[in-house]
Amino acid sequence: MSAVVKAILGEGRVLRLLHGTSSAALPGIRVSGLKSPCLTDHQKSAEYYAQEAVEELGGEPVILAVVVDTAYLQADYHSFEEPLSFIYNKYAGDEDTWFAMLEAGDEISWPKDRDDWQTSLKIVGSVRYDGNIHPDRIKSV
């Protein structure tokens, strides 16, 4: 574990999250890390995004575990605007009901602002990372 991660752990600001990708992207990730990725705490979401990457890049689906400083996490508005079906089905039976519930703000709500990553992770199970995740903080699952 790097000194940076140890220091962050001491402050209680670290989360282990997942990122779905393709084996075709691994050589670049091993060298450069992940640049502003979408991260999730749902295995099923990571698998979905890995399959999407395979369709785009070829290769095989890969799930990566990353250790991140929560200070760089942001709400994933895209996942609210285009939710995966198993996410909106958890709250509503269809997308129309999903958006009506978001607008009502009773059971589920939009994040308060882009820094409200906690609401994003709680409701849609994903967040954005604002920056680059160094390769030494990325492991295959």
Provide the pLDDT confidence category of residue 4 given band limits of 50, 70 and 90: very low
Q: Residue 117: which domain range? A: 3-140
Is the pLDDT confidence value at 57 over 80? yes
pLDDT, tens only, 92-112: 889 999 999 999 998 899 999
Place of tokens 């940076």: 4
pTM above 0.95, yes or no: no
- Taking residues 73-92, report their average pLDDT: 93
Q: How many structural domains comprise the chain?
A: 1
- Is the per-residue pLDDT at 129 higher than 70? yes
How far lies 39's CA from each of 35, 95, 100, 101, 128, in Å?
11, 22, 26, 24, 6
pLDDT at res. 7: 47
What distances in angstroms separate CA 131 from CA 34, 40, 97, one per listed residue?
A: 8, 16, 34
Residue 12's pLDDT band, with cuts at 50, 70 and 90, is low
Whether 9 has a pLDDT exceeding 60, the answer reads no
pLDDT band at 11 (very low <50, low <70, confident <90, very high): low
Provide the pLDDT confidence category of residue 113 given band limits of 50, 70 and 90. very high
* CA atoms of 67 and 134, how far apart (whole Å): 10
The mean pLDDT value for 12-23 works out to: 93
